[in-house]
């Protein structure tokens, strides 16, 4: 766990923060881990102050509140972007629950200079700078919805890998549960969205524990057929942990 330097938390529900204080207690050192959380979720400053009193040696870790469209650079070529979602209903501009997108950053030669020789490009870079010669290209290599209803389809378009919650299967009882608490996604809504955007691989998670693994598999395969899904679809079932999930058999194989 000490390899983990950055922690991005979607919201303060117990199933999303369990283990956080112990992780920090074991790994805190000067400047790390850097813990990012929705800036308007008051639980996190409370967590931070409690732990600084309870485990005084964790002073080195950094807690930072972030909001919609904030961007955090991890390395020279990796960037995390926060996306506000409506899992926890709040006024516009208030960030209490976040989704995340990870971008790989590369610089490529602008089309206007593409036909030049290597030496010509080198001279332009020397005389006018690399920013004049090249432009930044962002590739969305991973998107994570966190707990969220299906909202803006374009949010996840062009994701190489999309991890999206699918709390409810399609049923009348689900709507009654959804109306009483924070907002989640239904599996049919997720598949309809994915059928209308470009996604490389889909990982479904956060299924309600009221569903068996067999029922979830049956529902996924039914939805893949109904919405003509050709991309690999993987699933994290209730109570299970998966390692290297993308090298396992897709549910719709």
Residue 181 pLDDT: 72
Angle ∠(29,24,20) on CA atoms, nearest 5? 160
Q: Rounded to an integer, what distance in angstroms lies between the CA atom of residue 11 and that of residue 162?
A: 19
Polymer length of the chain: 253
Nearest CA-CA partner of 144 in 170, 168, 164, 171: 164
Residue 75 pLDDT: 83
Residue 189 pLDDT: 96
SS3 string, 26-85, reads: HHCECCECEEEEECCCCHHHHHHHHHHHHCHHHHHCEEEEECCCCEEEEECCEEEEEEEC
- The contacts found for 173-181 with CB under 8 angstroms, 24 or more apart, are none
Report phi then psi at 230, rounded to 5: -105, -20
DSSP 190: H
E strands, 145-198, in order? 159-165
What's the distance, CA 81 to chain centroid?
Answer: 9
Radius of gyration from C-alpha coordinates of the chain:
21
Residue 2 pLDDT: 81
Going residue by residue through the chain, which has 253 residues, state the pLDDT in tens, using 9 for 90 and above: 888 999 999 999 999 998 999 999 999 999 999 999 999 999 999 999 999 999 999 999 999 999 999 999 998 899 999 999 999 989 988 999 999 999 999 989 999 998 999 998 999 999 999 889 999 899 999 999 999 999 999 999 999 999 999 999 976 566 566 656 789 999 999 999 999 999 999 999 999 999 999 999 999 999 999 999 999 999 999 999 888 999 999 999 9
pLDDT digits (tens, 9 = 90+) for 117-149: 999 899 999 999 988 999 989 999 999 999 999
């Amino acid at each position: 766990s000490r390899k983990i330097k950055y922690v991005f938390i979607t919201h303060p529900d117990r199933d999303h923060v369990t283990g956080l204080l112990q992780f920090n207690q074991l790994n805190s050192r000067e400047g790390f881990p850097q813990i990012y959380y929705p800036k308007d979720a008051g639980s996190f400053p409370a967590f931070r102050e409690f732990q600084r009193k309870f485990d005084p040696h964790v002073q080195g870790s950094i807690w930072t509140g972030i909001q919609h469209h904030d961007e955090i650079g991890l390395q020279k070529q990796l960037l995390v972007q926060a996306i506000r979602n409506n899992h926890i209903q709040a006024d516009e501009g208030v960030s209490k629950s976040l989704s995340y997108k990870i971008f790989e950053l590369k610089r490529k030669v602008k089309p206007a200079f593409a036909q030049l020789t290597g030496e010509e490009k080198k001279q332009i870079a020397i005389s006018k700078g690399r920013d004049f010669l090249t432009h930044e290209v962002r590739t969305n290599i991973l998107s994570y919805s966190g707990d969220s209803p299906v909202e803006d389809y374009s949010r996840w378009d062009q994701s190489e890998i999309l991890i999206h919650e699918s709390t409810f299967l399609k049923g009348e009882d689900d709507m009654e549960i959804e109306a009483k608490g924070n907002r989640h996604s239904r599996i049919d809504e997720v598949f309809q969205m994915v059928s209308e955007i470009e996604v490389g691989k889909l990982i479904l998670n956060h299924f309600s524990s009221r569903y068996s693994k067999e029922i979830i598999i049956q529902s996924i395969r039914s939805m893949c057929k109904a919405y003509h899904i050709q991309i690999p679809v993987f699933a994290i079932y209730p109570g299970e942990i998966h390692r290297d999930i993308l090298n396992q058999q897709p549910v719709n194989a």
